[in-house]
Structure formats: C-alpha cells, structure tokens
Amino acid sequence: MRRRIPGLVMRSTLIVGLPGETEEKFARLLETVKQVRFERLGVFTYSDEEHALSSRLDGKVPKKRAKERQKELMLAQQRIAGEWSRSKIGETIEVLVEGPTVCRSVFDAPEIDCKVLLKWIRDAAPGSFLRARVVGSEIYDLVAEPLSTDS
C-alpha cells in the first residue's frame, strides 16, 4: 500500500490479553507490528465486561501478563513512531490549529493521536489551518514553526 500511495499513514488500535491469546500468538502480533510499522498505534489490555460473551471464554490471560504485553508492544511502537517523526523533520505540512501552541496534522485524530507543537503562532485562531515546517520531534509529537496563517 505504501508503494502505491505515497505519504500513506496507517493507524490501528489493538487489544492484547484476549482470552486464548497464547505467547506464540502474541509473538506473531509483535512481529506484525514491527513489519507493518504503523505510524499511529494504540494498544489496550483486554478486560471482562459483564454481559460480553468474551467474559465467559476460557484461556484468560493474567492481567499482569496482559499489561506486560501492552508495554512490550508500545515500546516497539515508540521506536517506530520516533523514526517516523524524525523522518518528517524539514518537511512542510498543513496543520489545524487547536490552541495557542497545539495543532494537528492531517495524520492525527483529535484527542487520540499525536500533536504538532508549534514554537509560536501568529494570529491563528482555533479551527484555522496553516502551513508549518517540521523542525524537530518528541517521539510521537512533531515540533514545527508556522510559515503562514492563511486559511
């Protein structure tokens, strides 16, 4: 997909520790995450819900092990996201202004994904768009300087 769609950013959300998730299945999941290299990834741990059918399944993963798996996946993702963020340094991107120094790029879902942290904004109201040059990164977030406040 990345060869056919330049600039593609892939996002997903995973749940680890589902009933029946073995060490082998988790190892395959971890390897898949490393191969696919999602630019944005959220990882959560499974928990029983009172009326959910899954709460009656056998093969429960201990909560401690599920948390360890979540941490392991997120450490792998942190490396991937950091590499991707650093690769954006020097690029010009369009951002949506959310606040005095916080914006979102076209890659980011509000309140879920990363942010673009602007060094300063000239007269840009929340909800406006502006172009910014990426000058740094903080693992998940990009650091940028605005180029204009044209909407």
List the chain domain ranges: 11-87, 92-146
Which is the CATH superfamily of the domain at 92-146?
A: Nucleic acid-binding proteins (2.40.50.140)
Instruction: Choose between 106 and 41: higher pLDDT.
Output: 41
Backbone phi, then psi, for 127, in 5-degree steps? 95, -10
What is the per-residue pLDDT for 151?
Answer: 44
Considering the four listed CATH numbers 3.30.750.200, 3.90.1010.10, 3.30.360.10, 2.40.10.10, the one that applies to the domain covering 11-87 is: 3.30.750.200
Greatest Cα pair distance in the chain: 58
SS3 89: coil
Checking if the pLDDT of 124 tops 90, the result is no
**Closest to 107 measured CA to CA, from 124, 95, 117:** 95
Over residues 76-86, the pLDDT tens digits come to 999 999 999 99
Residue whose entry in the numeric block shows the structure tokens 């740094």:
136
What is the per-residue pLDDT for 136?
Answer: 95
Please name every residue paired with 144 in a beta bridge, in sequence order, or none if there are none: 118, 134
CA angle, residues 16, 19, 24, in degrees to nearest 5: 65
Query: In this predicted structure, which of 65-79, 94-108, 137-151 has the lowest mean pLDDT?
Result: 137-151
Q: What is the pTM of this model?
A: 0.83
